[in-house]
């Protein structure tokens, strides 16, 4: 059984004015997502500013999300690191906290070889029993999981089950599906490529867009799975201007700005990320309003 099918939100981490995590607001966001039909919550991913959370904050956020979600949808914990030892520790703790699955980004900065990636993911997988979704985002990590590597891992390590593909390379993803086929759970990591990846056998998306349009993102995926390919494609194309605006600066700068424009009061970003440039925020506001999202 797949970890999830449909739309998983890569949820933001709301902050108070003093920079602490706003757990009351996080609870509100989780409830709103589930009520809107979101199929899984990804906590402490890139969009959740995991890179600037302390270990304690990271684990506390996972525990809070698991407890508050209370089994309504799967909770997927981001526990990746450029240190295999650290990723093992975070993954073990996330399993103890009751997470349903793990999302593990490739080791960043180290620029591991493919052999190194196999060892990295295998060591983490052997430390836990949870299903693992690899996260391939070379534009951020400088490290690319080659199709043969991903296929090897899902075939030889029992709890490595899937991949969030954000390479943007459709040819590479097609080759992965040729090699792995039904043995891998494919999830889009790019909101502008959801339908193309579904056409290659994908199950859904781990989405930034879902933070501001959860029902829309869920429905876009489900239309495809229900056989309404044209309707799903139309939704994908309609969302492109908003998606482009949500990525006109580095994620999660625009999506936090968007939520604040919606009156969600998710707070600021932690340095080194900074507030959105004024001209880009106006572009974002226009894209949101054109899409039908009310801004304050």
DSSP, res 83: S
pLDDT per residue over 190-231, tens digit each?
Answer: 999 999 999 999 999 999 999 999 999 999 999 999 999 999
Q: What is residue 44's predicted lDDT score, i.e. its pLDDT?
A: 98
pLDDT computed for residue 280 by the predictor: 98
pTM of the model: 0.97
Find out whether 284 and 248 touch, Cβ atoms under 8 Å: yes
The pLDDT, as a whole number, for residue 285 is 98
CA distance 216 to 198: 16
Catalytic residue among 25, 121, 135, 256: 135
135 is a catalytic site residue: yes
The candidate with the shortest Cα–Cα distance to 94, out of 50, 120, 60, is 60
Q: What does the alpha-carbon distance between residue 265 and residue 251 come to, in Å, rounded to a whole number?
A: 17
Give the residue ranges of the chain where pLDDT is below 50: none
DSSP letter string, 234-295: HHHHHHHHHHHHHTSSSTTHHHHHHHHHTT-----PPTTS-PPPHHHHHHHHHHHHHHT---
Question: Which residue out of 25, 121, 152, 164 is catalytically annotated?
Answer: 164
User: What was the pLDDT predicted at 251?
Assistant: 97
């Amino acid at each position: 059984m797949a970890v999830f099918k449909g739309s998983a939100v890569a949820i933001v981490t709301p902050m108070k004015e003093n920079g602490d995590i706003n757990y009351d607001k996080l609870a509100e966001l989780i409830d709103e997502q589930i009520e809107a039909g979101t199929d899984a919550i990804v906590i402490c991913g890139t969009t959740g500013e995991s890179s600037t959370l302390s270990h304690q904050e990271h684990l506390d956020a996972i525990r809070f999300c698991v407890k508050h979600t209370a089994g309504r949808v799967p909770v997927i914990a981001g526990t990746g690191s450029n240190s295999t030892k650290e990723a093992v520790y975070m993954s073990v703790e996330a399993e103890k906290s009751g997470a349903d699955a793990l999302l593990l980004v490739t080791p960043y900065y180290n620029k591991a070889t493919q052999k190194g990636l196999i060892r990295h993911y295998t060591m983490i997988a052997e430390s836990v029993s949870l299903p693992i979704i690899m996260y391939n985002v070379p534009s951020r990590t400088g490290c690319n999981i080659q199709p043969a590597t991903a296929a090897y891992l899902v075939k030889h390590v029992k709890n490595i089950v899937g991949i969030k593909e954000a390479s943007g390379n459709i040819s590479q993803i097609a080759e992965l599906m040729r090699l792995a086929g039904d043995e891998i759970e494919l999830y889009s990591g790019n909101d502008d490529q959801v339908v193309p990846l579904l056409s290659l056998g994908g199950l859904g998306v781990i989405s930034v867009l879902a933070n501001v349009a959860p029902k829309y993102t869920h429905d876009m995926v489900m239309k495809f799975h229900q056989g309404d390919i044209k309707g799903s494609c139309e939704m994908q194309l309609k969302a492109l201007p908003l998606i482009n605006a949500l990525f006109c600066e580095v994620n999660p700068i625009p999506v936090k700005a968007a939520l604040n424009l919606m009156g969600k009061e998710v707070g600021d970003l932690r340095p080194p990320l900074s507030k959105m440039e004024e001209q880009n925020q106006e572009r974002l506001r226009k894209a949101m309003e054109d899409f039908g999202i009310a801004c304050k």
